[in-house]
Structure 1
Amino acid sequence: MGASGWDYLVPYDGGVAATLQRLRADVFAAGDYYWPYGSDRPKPATEEELWADRNVRESMTHSVLDVFEVGTGDPRGERTFGRTFEVTDAECTAVFGTAHPTADDLPPDLEGPIEALLTGRGVGRHLIIHGADGPAQILFFGATGD
């Protein structure tokens, strides 16, 4: 099947980790992820059941569900799989023209700009989008899957 790119622009929820966990819960509840069995089998009722399936562990979900925690350090380094890493100020300035973008700084088609920021399959990235009073949204993106 190959890897799938994904992105989500969601309201900031007090911190990156809290926002990530809320997003993961929303995506799971909506069933908005790859399920290797299609409609032949119902999707699991819990994430624990989802990840207990060998086929899911091998193919992944092609969604933010494949990112479990916020990482620190270099997103190209070791121990990056399953983590999301913040886009650096330098990367952000190079791609969006500012280190602290607002929603107005994001292009209508994000695919090209965010693709340049991906560091590897199974590694997520995130970018805090600022509003008048500080962080307003977070853009999570990555490429995951077999």
Structure 2
Amino acid sequence: MGASGWSYYVAYQPDLGTALDELQIRVFEEGDYWWAEPAEWGKSAKDFPNRPRTEEELWSSESVQECGTHSILDMHEIVQPGEKPDYGTVEPVSDAEALRCAGVTRLTRAHVAQIDGLAAQRWFGRCAVLHDDAGKPSEIYFWGFSGD
């Protein structure tokens, strides 16, 4: 099957880890992920009434452990400044990266296409704080590639 790209926008909050946790809860509850057990391409978990009811149940499946969910559920933490990104982590866009890719340090939705290439490696995610027209943080953009 190969990896799948995914992206999400969430309301801004200063704690990126909490934003990730809340997004994952929403994605799981909505069934907006690929469920490896029935292995039916083109369908998401929401298409199956017998899908896992807990994340523990989801991740207890060997198929899911091997193939992932092709969603933000495959990420487990935000990389802190100075830490090296690792498998299953989400790295915030640095000011230097934003400046290099978009020419600004306060990114907006208009800059998303310019930073999308920063998430090119499978099983790694990125996130960026996006600002409104007044320059205030308004949302967080999460994106990446995962799944096999």
Aligned to 2:43: none
* Cα separation, 2, equivalents of 1:52 and 1:35: 12
* Cα separation, 1, equivalents of 2:6 and 2:82: 21
Aligned to 1:29: 29
Tell me which amino acid in the other structure corresponds to 2:130. I
Aligned residue pairs total 139
Aligned to 1:145: 147
* Cα separation, 1, equivalents of 2:21 and 2:32: 15
Tell me which amino acid in the other structure corresponds to 2:58. L
* Cα separation, 2, equivalents of 1:15 and 1:133: 18
Select which of 92, 108, 111 maps to 1:106: 111
Aligned to 2:90: 84
Per the alignment, in what secondary structure is the counterpart of residue 80 of structure 1?
A: coil
Deviation, 1:121, is 1.0
Aligned to 2:119: 118
Aligned to 1:127: 128
Select which of 31, 48, 56 maps to 1:48: 56
Q: TM-score, normalised by structure 2?
A: 0.83
Contact 2:5 2:143 in 1 (8 A): yes
Aligned to 2:68: 60
What percent identity do the matched residue pairs reach? 37
Contact 2:75 2:90 in 1 (8 A): yes
Deviation, 1:41, is 7.3
Deviation, 1:113, is 4.2
* Cα separation, 2, equivalents of 1:130 and 1:15: 15
* Cα separation, 1, equivalents of 2:32 and 2:92: 24
* Cα separation, 1, equivalents of 2:137 and 2:115: 21
Aligned-residue RMSD, C-alpha: 2.2
Q: Is there any run of 5+ residues in structure 1 with no aligned partner, and where?
A: none
Deviation, 1:101, is 1.2
Per the alignment, in what secondary structure is the counterpart of residue 106 of structure 1?
A: helix
